[in-house]
Amino acid sequence: MLQGLHSLQPINASAAAAGAAPPASPSASSSMRPPKRCDRSGAGASGTAFSASSPSAAEGDDDERRSRKRPNQQADPGESSVAAGARELEVGAATAAGVGEGEAGGLRLLGLLLRCAEAVAMDRLGEARELLPEITELSSPYGSPPERVAAYFAEALHFRIVSSHIGAYPPISAAPTAALPLYRTLALIQNQRIAQAFHAFNSVSPLVKFAHFTANQAISQALEGEESVHVIDLDIMQGLQWPGLFHILASRHGHRIRSIRITGVGSSLDLLEATGRRLSDFAAGLGLAFEFHPLEGKIGHIADLAVFRPQRKEGQVHGRVGREEVTVVNWTQHCLYDVTGSDLGAVQLLRALRPRLVAVVEQDLSHAGGFLERFVEALHYYSAMFDALGEGTAAGAAGEGERHLVERQLLGAEIRNILAVGGPKRTGEAGVGRWGEQLRAAGFHMVSLAGGPAAQQAGLLLGMLPCKGYTLVEEGGCLRLGWKDLSLLTASAWQPSAAPLSSPGEGR
């Protein structure tokens, strides 16, 4: 299915309405070839990353639908490039000689998804609703990677249509409110499911380990010679990252860490306290003096730096709380839920904290911009993600149940948030696509991770994987983890410059 998708570039709704020339047909050569996928029997089989047809679709019904649709699939002179390309993909799927059944089904799914997305973007909701049943019939959350991706994108499109009627679709895992006990209980259950899915994700994919290893190595280097450290984790979740750092710090010779304090930010105080108890037990086993401070809320809404100070001390100067404590910040970004609350507020917080180091790991996926742009970019990104998980499962990295849990609770939720959530961040507020430019404007400079311990750890991690499709690229001081020809995660490290360059948000 990605045979045609690779020829499409992310565009916005206004570009779609302009009626640009359609993309090349799926039979034409492409500069970006779709990845190969291991079949379930363990033998390597070449195929598109989005190429399998649904086993639930009756062949006779498929032929009937194709014969009905073909007369109406000639491109309108004013038709957008997305719509024209989508129709061409469907025609190619039905008529191209030498195209396998699975690849034809994948191309047809792609065409239907793109047509539905364009209809949503152009506010033709009736047309979008008519396309969804066919997409749902051809897709399945338990099928091949293409079918699974299509199932979650169809679900997100459905929620988007619903939100267009009622005016809003609530983002996942908003901070619970003490005045609403039922809401708090539901939020706690949801966060527990997310926690379970993250444990499974850590088993089935190297992405979580990559984020933890690279950030921990960068933080460890920044703490050379220091004895007391304050880690501010802007979205701590279950705290899976920190036992690894505890081991590094406890095994040092000479300058052993005397005390470590973690401020963990999150949306659920109950889960934060549970995380703190687990980390306290682990630190005690290593003989580390440890203190945990839970902070419920969104980082972009924090205005008073006093919440980061230990009660026994006062004052904070250039990354130190009190006289001896060195502050570092860890920030793992994702699309699962809104961590920042305000992008500008988050950058201003980092500027005010002026920590010794900010370790950033972010998805190579922008969730700003117009709907069609987000849709095409997300379809590229998650097609690669589902393909990687499918190949990892086939190679024995994890079971089908674990993979489905990850896709349902994490990736499917991210897709819904990117495509279905309305509100200011989706309709015009200047969001941040990549954080490097904002950090530079806030007075930070990049610390290169290339060739250092972080890069070495990442290389060792990939070498141990049973699935060999992952790639590691050192670029501009960053480390990028990818799947075949697409970058998935970027790790970088930042330090405050001698003097801030400009106020965050200037010129925006």
Instruction: Tokens 């998805």: give the residue.
Output: 363
The larger pLDDT score, comparing residue 280 to residue 366, is at 280
Tokens of 106: 């994948």
Q: Could you report the per-residue pLDDT of 34-68, keeping only the tens digit for each?
A: 333 333 333 333 333 443 333 333 333 444 333 33
Averaged pLDDT, 482-506: 76
Report percent pLDDT > 70 for the chain.
68
- pLDDT for 81 equals 57
- Token pair 């970088």 is found at 492
Q: 């305000």: which residue's tokens? A: 342
Q: What is the mean pLDDT of the chain?
A: 76
pLDDT category of residue 467 using cuts at 50, 70 and 90: confident
Section 112-139 average pLDDT: 95
Nearest CA among 262, 323, 322, 324 for reference residue 288: 262
H helix count then E strand count, the chain: 17, 13
Expressed in angstroms, the distance from the first to the final Cα of the chain is 38
Cβ atoms of 480 and 489 closer than 8 Å: yes
pLDDT at 178: 47
- How far, in Å, are 15, 204, 219, 225 from residue 370 at the CA level? 10, 32, 36, 47
User: 3-class DSSP state for residue 358?
Assistant: strand
Distance in angstroms (rounded) separating the CA atoms of residues 53 and 389: 19
Burial of 430: CB neighbours in 10 Å, binned 0-12, 13-18, 19+: exposed
Q: Which domains does the chain carry?
A: 2-27+44-167+371-419 (no CATH), 204-366+430-496 (3.40.50.150)
In contact, 506 and 443? CB cutoff 8 Å: no
Residue 292 contacts residue 304 (beta carbons within 8 Å): no
pLDDT higher than threshold 50 for residue 26: no
Confidence class for position 340, pLDDT limits 50, 70, 90: confident
What average pLDDT score do residues 364-379 get? 87
Q: Which of 66-70, 167-171, 500-504 has the highest mean pLDDT?
A: 167-171
Highest averaged pLDDT of the listed ranges 43-52, 197-206, 307-316: 197-206
